[in-house]
Amino acid sequence: MTAADLVIVLLGVVAVGAGVLVVATRQLVHAALWLVVSFGALAGSYLVLTAEFVAWVQVLIYVGAVVVLLLFGIMLTRAPIGRSEDLDSGNRIVALVVAVATAGVLVTTLVRGFRSAYVPIKDRVGSGSSHTLGGSLFQTWVLPFEALSVLLLAALIGAIVLSRTDIGGAGPEPEEEEPEPRRRPAAPRGTVARRLGTARRRATPDDEDTIVLSRVDEEI
């Protein structure tokens, strides 16, 4: 066992352990922070595998952007920050079974698939560099790369559609703008009853209709 092997095993243990803590902790913010650790360990593994560019991308995007986004989300939606019993689901056992089963299948498959595929890291030095990746990206993969830019543009437009409040020209009091994304379940308390009312109102005529239709069914 070389030093690299040892490091990668240790990083793996850290990544998996942090991953377990992400789902096990009772505090939302802690979960997000454990995620940082897990991602970081993963980035370390990439480094050991000489894929330095991927490693830094991992740090920048996942540790830097995604987790920060998550934390902002927690902050903006005024989610409870301390210990919360709500974070525990009643379906713990099922979730555990599913997770273990998935992990089992994947690990088995990967181990069986790659058992003989052994490549010494020394031969691969440079293959994970930004230069190589860039060359590949702008030569072989230029079309998917451009398509990705279209995807980002579409996502941008979508975000504007969902959040823009001044569509009618004069924006109606920007400070009353609701901070949370529209589709989040947690809505301001005042509107709850009203919205429930909407749902009920729609349900009632449907019930009557069902009776009419079941009559049709009986005829058949």
Partner 1 sequence: MTPVYMAAGDIPTPHIEYGRLAPVLIVLGAACVGVLVEALAPRAQRYGLQVLVSVVGLVAAFAWTIALGIGDQPHHVAAMGAVGVDGPTLFIQGTILVLALMSMLLIAERRHEDSPFTAQASTVPGSPEERESLVAGLVQTEIYPLVLFAVGGMLIFPAANDLLTMFVALEVMSLPLYLLCGLARRRRLLSQEAAVKYFLLGAFSSAFFLYGTAMLYGFAGSVRLSEIAAAISKQGGDEPLLLAGVALLSVGLLFKMGAAPFQAWKPDVYQGAPTALTALMASCTLVAAVGGVLRVFYVGLETLRWDWRPMMWAVAILTMLVGAIVAITQTDVKRMLAYSSIAHGGFLLTGVIATNKAGLSSTLFYLAAYGFTTVGAFAVITMVRDAGGEAGHLSRWAGLGKRQPLVAGTFAFFLLAFAGIPLTSGFTGKFAVFQAAMAGGAMPLVIVGVVSSAIAAFFYVRVIVLMFFSEPLADGPTVSFSPATATAVAVGAFVTLVLGVIPAPALHLAQSAANQLFVR
Partner 2 sequence: MTTMNAVLAAGGPELHPQAAEGVQSVAWLLIALPLAGAAILLLSGRRTNKWGHLLGTAMSLGAFVVGLLAFFQMLGQDAEGRSRLVHLFPFISAGSLKVDMNLLVDPLSISFVLLITGVGSLIHIYSIGYMSHDPDRRRFFAYLNLFVAAMLLLVLADNYVGLYIGWEGVGLASYLLIGFWQYKPSAATAAKKAFIVNRVGDFGLSVAIMVMFATFGSLSYQDVFGQASQASQGTITAIGLLLLLGACGKSAQLPLQSWLLDAMEGPTPVSALIHAATMVTAGVYLIVRSHAIFELSPDAQLLVTIVGVATLLAGAIIGCAKDDIKKALAGSTMSQIGYMVLAAGLGRPGYVFAIAHLIAHGFFKAGMFLGAGSVMHAMNDDVNMRKYGGLRKVMPITFATFGLGYLAIIGFPGLSGWWTKDGIIDAAFEKGGTSGQILGWLALIGAGITAYYMSRLMFMTFFGEPRWDEDVHPHESPKVMTVPLILLAIGSVAGGAFLILGDRFAKFLAPVVGEPEAAHKLVTPYTAIVFALMVVGVGLAYVQYLRRPVPRTAPAGNPAVTFARKDLYGDALNESLLMRPGQWLTRLTVYFDNRGVDGLVNGLAAFIGGTSGRVRRVQTGFVRSYALSMFVGAALVVGALFLVRI
Residues that bind partner 1 (CB under 8 A): 105, 108-110, 112-114, 126-127, 131-132, 134-136, 138-144, 147-148, 150-151, 153-155, 157-158, 160-165, 167-169, 172, 178, 182-183, 187, 191, 194-195, 198-199, 202, 205-206, 209-210, 212-213, 216, 220
Can you read off the two tokens belonging to residue 115?
């058992």
Q: Which of residues 104-133 bind partner 2 (CB under 8 A)?
A: 105
When binding is defined by CB under 8 A, the residue of 81, 191, 209, 213 that contacts partner 2 is 191
CB atoms within 10 A of CB 40: 19
Q: Are 61 and 55 in contact (CB under 8 A)?
A: no
Partner interacting with residue 186 (select from partner 2, partner 1, none; CB below 5-8 Å by kind): partner 2
Judged by CB, which is closer to partner 2: 6, or 97? 97
Q: Where are the beta strands (DSSP E) in the chain?
A: none
CA distance 41 to 94: 28
Tell me which of 20, 151, 154, 196 binds partner 2, using CB under 8 A: 196
Does 219 engage in binding with partner 2 (CB under 8 A)?
Answer: yes
Which partner, partner 2, partner 1, none, binds residue 141 by CB below 5 to 8 Å per kind? partner 1
Contact, 32 vs 67, CB < 8 A? yes
Can you read off the two tokens belonging to residue 181?
């994304």
CB 87 within 8 A of CB 80: no
Enumerate long-range contacts of 215-220, CB under 8 Å, 24 or more apart.
none
Q: Which two tokens stand for residue 77?
A: 């939606």
| Piece of the chain touching partner 2 by CB under 8 A; list 15-23, 147-155, 162-170, 189-197 | 189-197
- Give the Cα separation of 171 and 173 in Å (integer): 6
The residues binding partner 2 (CB under 8 A) are: 89-91, 98, 101, 105, 185-187, 191-192, 195-196, 199, 203, 217, 219-220
